[in-house]
Structure formats: structure tokens, C-alpha cells
Amino acid sequence: NAGVTQTPKFQVLKTGQSMTLQCAQDMNHNSMYWYRQDPGMGLRLIYYSASEGTTDKGEVPNGYNVSRLNKREFSLRLESAAPSQTSVYFCASSARLAGGPNEQFFGPGTRLTVL
Amino acid sequence: QQQVKQSPQSLIVQKGGISIINCAYENTAFDYFPWYQQFPGKGPALLIAIRPDVSEKKEGRFTISFNKSAKQFSLHIMDSQPGDSATYFCAAVSGAGSYQLTFGKGTKLSVIP
């Protein structure tokens, strides 16, 4: 049981390049999330998927797109990377049972640098 | 608008001491308050969580104290150990239908021998 996995672990891009961050979970969770973490800013939600087939914007969605490929996989795409998108990106998942707490499990992160 | 304010930003505690991290919130719809622990190079991991119908929850050396009227909650780490050195995040989420955790900005704890 690997939990939440993310690829790649590290990535360097040039301004204007595109890339897709991959995330997969093996806990049969319904909901998945993408966050970015910047020094002194905590974690900010980019997009989330409440269930397979749905996606919604979070706090900081501009410059990103997501795809919920199936129940296990949720990808984050940067179409034209900018230096402001230099950050550590975390994927998370939760069971989100009805009436239950939103306990989220996080992956190890992708460290992205945009030059 | 920052909905969860966390303090202090950094904290240095001697081994065996008590570490205290405070959070305050504004949204009275929040009804679940988790704390996450993050070690360098790792993702955050759930440490302990509380609902506002209780004033305190204890798990081992970690205790959450909750003051609903003041809209404040805090994490106490008793007998702090060097292995507790990490960044701690408080968070809050509102009730049914909400999928969004609102995080504080984090506290970097260093426990010195």
C-alpha cells in the first residue's frame, strides 16, 4: 500500500514550457486535491476533485489545469510555466465519507523550479 | 483573506519542554480542526484533530485545546523531543459539502538538546 505517489520528484522548466505533474492513490479514495506550498504561505489549494468525473477550482487556480483520469489518478498541468509557479506541489486524497471528517493524506511532493 | 491565523512562525524549545502553537479562525462554519506535521522534504501528515464539541483532545504527548467562544485552538507538545522538530500546520474545514481545508501558514519547531 503506497498511499499517495507523485511523479516527478524534481523538475526544472524554462519559462513558457509545459509539463504535467502526475498523482496516484491506492486507498480507493473518492476525493483528490492539488496544493502548492511556498515559504511563509502555508498550503494553498489549486484544484480539487470531489469524485471521479468532477473538478473544481480552489484558492489559486490561475495558470493550471487538472484532469481526473480515473478514481486513482489526478494530474496537474502547467500549460506555459512562469517563474511565479516555482513551488513545491503536493497531491492529497481523502475518503470524504458523508458526515465524516475531511482527513487528507498527502504525497511526498514535486519540487518545481521555473527559470 | 487569511481565515486561519497561526503563531508563532518559529519556535525553539529545549528538550523536555512544552511547545505551544496557537491558531485563530474567523469562519464560524468551521467544524473540524486538524493539525498536520511536516518533516523536511516530506508531505504533511495528519497528527491530531478535534471537533468543536469538545474542549480538549489528547493523543500521547500531543494535546489540542479548543476555545469555541474565542475561536481559538492550540497544539501543546509535552516533553518535546528533538524528533518533534518539524513544521506544524493548523487547518480548518467547514461542514458537509466542503472539500477545502484552510491552512495556517505554519510554525517551524526546533527542539534543541
Model confidence pLDDT, tens digit, residues B42-92: 999 999 999 888 999 999 999 999 999 999 999 999 999 999 999 999 999
Q: Considering only CB atoms, which chain B residues are within 8 Å of A103? A: 34, 46, 49
Average pLDDT in the B100-108 region?
91
B10-14 vs B72-77, strand pairing mode:
unpaired
In this prediction, residue B95 has a pLDDT band, given cuts at 50, 70 and 90, of low
**Of the candidates A68, A81, A84, which has an alpha carbon nearest to the alpha carbon of residue A34?**
A68
pLDDT of residue A100: 61
pLDDT of residue B72: 96
Test B46 with A105 for CB contact under 8 angstroms.
yes
CA dist., res. A29 & res. B100, Å (int):
15
Yes or no: say if A19 and A110 are a contact pair by the CB < 8 Å rule: no
- Which portions of chain A are predicted below pLDDT 70? 96-101
pLDDT of residue B101: 86
pLDDT of residue B68: 92
CA dist., res. A43 & res. A92, Å (int):
11
* Residue A71, min C-alpha distance to chain B (Å): 16
User: Strand, helix or coil at A107?
Assistant: coil
pLDDT of residue B3: 87
pLDDT of residue B2: 57
B19-25 vs B4-7, strand pairing mode:
antiparallel
A 40-79 residues inside an 8 A Cβ radius of B: 40-45, 48, 50, 56, 58-59
